[in-house]
Structure 1
Amino acid sequence: MTSKFNLNCLVLGDHPRNIFPVKITWTDTVGDLKDTLQLWKVDLPVDDTLGRNHLDELELDHKTPLSPVDEIFEVFDSPPQHKHLHIVVQPLPAGVSRKASHLSIKLNCLVLGDHPWNIFPVEIISTEVVGNLKDLIKEKNQHEFNNFDAKNLKQWKVDLPIDDTFDGNLNELELDHKKPLSPVDGMFEVFDSPPQHKHLHIVMRHQ
């Protein structure tokens, strides 16, 4: 199990001609491939259909990246096929550490106009974007948000302690002069430090 072999790898978004080999042994771990990358195992023939069909149809958002502690012989329980793509690579956003890429953020959210008793929690990974948060919020409020798409939610970041001052602080929010969160903002950008416990973090309304 010590013999070396090549894995054919491709950075997501690159042309298939930029596939590159990585030499590794069975006893190495996924972490030995690269610490600053997210990796997924695939098995796609490198032929005329690769760029046109297979790469465009990959749905990695619903697939867990390989764990850096997985050993290669666990990921590939049989030798990788010749002339196939074996690994796709996605660099982490600039400034995001490997640890942060797996960090869950727990947010307390409230629909504007609702009673504070209706504050609800949402958990999201720090490398996801505000648009993903919209989807999670709509999913948690299916009855209230049944008649419009998640994209029509406007969200603002707030930082209000949930205590005796909460109602007054909530009523004093002036959101008309505050820019809503952009759907393409990364959660690690919106919350560059952990959200405070027992605080309200996100308020929203639909357009």
Structure 2
Amino acid sequence: MMANLFSSFDPSTNLGFSLNWTSTIIGLMILPPMFWLIPSRISYLWISVITTLNKEFKILIGSQGSKGSTLIFVSLFSFILFNNFLGLFPYIFTSTSHMTLTLTLALPLWVTFMVYGWLNNTIHMFAHLVPQGTPPVLMPFMVCIETISNVIRPGTLAVRLSANMIAGHLLMTLLGNTGSYLSVLAVNFLILVQILLLVLESAVSIIQSYVFAVLSTLYSSEVN
């Protein structure tokens, strides 16, 4: 039972279709026409979202490191948001529910920040290991704690995104599998619950993509 349940998150077994990862590049075919067709209301809405995010990321990074670097995080937000929403459609593989994708996004970002920080701002990076006002007795312990918390950052980014995407989909799958054993009245109630869960998952898709992009922005601001 559990093996069949989790197989819906396995790209190699889901529907027996070996091209489930192509869902991650569908956006490359859908989104570009927005930039050369006559702007629609959706285009204006998306441009306003990007503009707002760009201003917010500039504030988080600071005036020194915001020379075009916000575009990276806006693109990251857009990519994750698109794949999160795509996974809400039936029979489409949710790529962001796999550590393969989330760790591929988080690890290179973290490694890049660390390499840049330690090569260009070495003293600043050492200062981050000991928070201001730490008693001398606790300094060795704080260095260990800060080092561990820094090392696990890409893992926490990846696990947070994949776990949140799996949790809602798993709950919807569990409830959906019970539909054939329920009465007509219970099925109607189940459909209502599934619609509410779908709305909740839509909100989670937006929130998790925003959290991933904001945390990546904060990590980059610490190395400047």
TM-score, normalised via structure 1 length: 0.27
Q: Which has the higher contact order (CA 8 A, sep 6+)?
A: 2
Flag the structure with higher helix content: 2
